Structure 1
Amino acid sequence: MLGRTANGLFWMFRYLERAENTARLLDAGMRMALTRDLVTAEEEWRSVISTAGQRAAYEAKHGTYTGSQVWNFMLRDKANPSSILAMFGLVRQNARLARNAISGELWEAINENWLVIDEQLKKPVAENRVLDTVATIRRAGTLAHGALAGSMLRDEGYHFARAGTFIERADSISRILDIKYYLLLPSLSYVGSSLDTGQWDQVLRSVSGDRAYRWLNAGQIDAKGICEFLILDERFPRSLAFCYCALRDDLAALARLHGTEGQSNMLMRDADTHLTDLTIEDIFDQGLHEFLVEFTQDNAAIAEAISTDYRFLA
C-alpha cells in the first residue's frame, strides 16, 4: 500500500473520531447548561471550549461564552479549523484520497453523511436544533465504523483505519480527563467530598460512559472511580487501556503483513506494558496530571512512529 493511501486511511479515522468526540462534548455541555442559571451556564460553555482545546481560537473572536456562540463556533464557524464541519470535510477528503482502498459501503457512509451534515450546518444552529445536529454527527460516526467493521477486508487499510481511531480516542480521553480533573478538583488529593457530581457526570457523558459506569458502580459518582474506569478498565471501549489493547493488536497485524516490526511496535509494547502494570493508586501517587501528560506525549510518539514506519509522506 502506498504511504499516502495509508496516511489517508489513518487520518480519515482520526478526524472522524475527533468530530465525534467534539459532538459528545457539545451534547454533554448542552444538557448541563440547560439545568444551570445564566452565569453558571457560561462557565459550563467555557469548560467545553477548554476541553475541546479551542479556547485561544474562540477568545480571538468572542469575548463572552453564550451558548449559541459556543456551539456554532464548534459546529460550523469558518474561522475555526477544528470545527466539526471542517473535521468532517477532512474525513471526506481523505476518504476520496483512499477511495480505492475502502469498501463501497464505507464510502457511502462517509459521503452521504457529509452531505447531510453540510446541509444542516449551512446556517447558524438554533438552540432547538443543537441536540438533533449532534445526534446526526454521532450517528454518522457510528455508520462509518459499522461499515468499516462489516465490509472491509482485514488488510492493511483496515488496520491503518483502526490505528487512527484508537490513537485519536486515547488522546481525546487523556486530554478530557486532565482538563476536567483540574477544573473540578484542583487539589492533588482524590478525596471527593466537595465534588460537583453533576460535573463529573458531564465527564462521563462526554465519553458516552455514564450508563456503563453507573451499571458497574451502582450509581456512585466519585473522582477516583471515574478515573480508574476511564484509564484502566479494559471492558469500556473508550478507556485508555481498551484503546491500547486494540492499538497493540492492529500494529502487530501491520507488522505481520509487512514482515517486520518498526519503532511503533516497540513503543507500543513499552507503553502497553507500563499501563497494564499500573493501579489507580500508582497513578494518583505519581500525580494524575503528570501521568496524563506523559501518556499524551507517549501517544503522540507512537503516532509519529507509525507515520515514519509506513512512510506516510512518501
Structure 2
Amino acid sequence: MSKLDLTSDPISEQAAYWFALLLEGNESAEDRKEFARWIDQDPRHKDAFSQIDRLWSGSSSLDFSPANPIGRRAVLGGSLAAILLAAGWGTMRYRPFADMTTDTGQRREVTLPGNNGRSILASNTAISFVSDRGVPGVEIHSGEAWFEHNADRGDFFVVAKGGKSWSAGGRFDVAAYNNDVTVIAQTNSLQLELSGAGYSVPQGNALSYRGAEVVKPSYRIDVASALAWREGQLIFMGEPLENVVAILERWQQGKIMVLGDHLKQRPVTLVVDLGRLHTVLPVLAKVLQVDVSQFTEYLTVIRDV
C-alpha cells in the first residue's frame, strides 16, 4: 500500500476527519452510522482509516460495525503527530539541490548572485541560483520569495514551475505552491515566458498560472496586503476561509481542515501577527462563530457549531 498522503488525497483527508472525531469521543449514534456508511462506500475508505489507526495504535484490527462505539482511543500515550509527520506536515521537505531554504515560520534575507540585489524568502521556501546564457537568476522549487532587483546590474529572472519571469529592475514577488504560481509586479513591470508565449504583468498587477496555462491573466492586486508577510503580518480582506487556512498552513506546523463547502467560502477579514500565530484560531472561532477543535498541534478541524 502506498504511503499515506493527507495533504493531497481527499479520501485520506476524510479518514483523518473521522479519526479525529472518534478520537475526541463525543460522536453521536448518528455520527457512528454515517461513519459506517462512509466505510462501506468504497474499500479505499477502510484502507485509509485503517492506515491512520495502525499508525496511532499499532493495531491492524478494528470493528467497523455501526453498533460499535469506537470512542476515544485507548492508547493515548501514542501521538497523532506520527501520522501527520509521516504525511509530511510539520517537517521541511528534503531538497538536496536547493541553495537556500527556510523552515516553517522562518523568513530569511539573502543577497542575489552578481550583486543583483536582495531577496526575502517566506516560510518553507527552497530556491537555487541559476543562469541563462550568462544572465543570473533564481529558481523557486517551492514557496515564495520577494525580490529587489538592481536595475543597473542588467536583467534578472525567476523560474517557477515552468514559467520564467524577467525583470529589468524593481521589486516583485513569486509564489509557487503545489502547481500554482502567482507573480506580483510591485514597482516594475515583468515579462512572463510560459510555454512559448509571452505575457506582460504591469506594476501593481499580478498574474497566476498553473502548469502551462495562465489561469488568471494580469489583474490589479492590493500589493501591500499581499506582501505584508515580509513585515511579519498576514492581511486578509474578505478572503474565503479556505484560502486563509491554506496561507496559515504555510507558516505553522500541522494541518487545518475546514469542513463544509459553505464554511470554506465564508469571507474573513483579519490581520495576523506572524509572531502570535497561536492566537489566530481562537479569534476565528469567536468571530466566525465556528467550532475549532485542536486534536494535537498537528491537526485542527474547523466546523460549524
**Greater strand proportion:** 2
Higher relative contact order (CA 8 A, sep 6+): 1
Larger helix proportion of the pair:
1
TM-score (norm 2): 0.29
TM-score (norm 1): 0.28
Larger radius of gyration between Structure 1 and Structure 2? 2
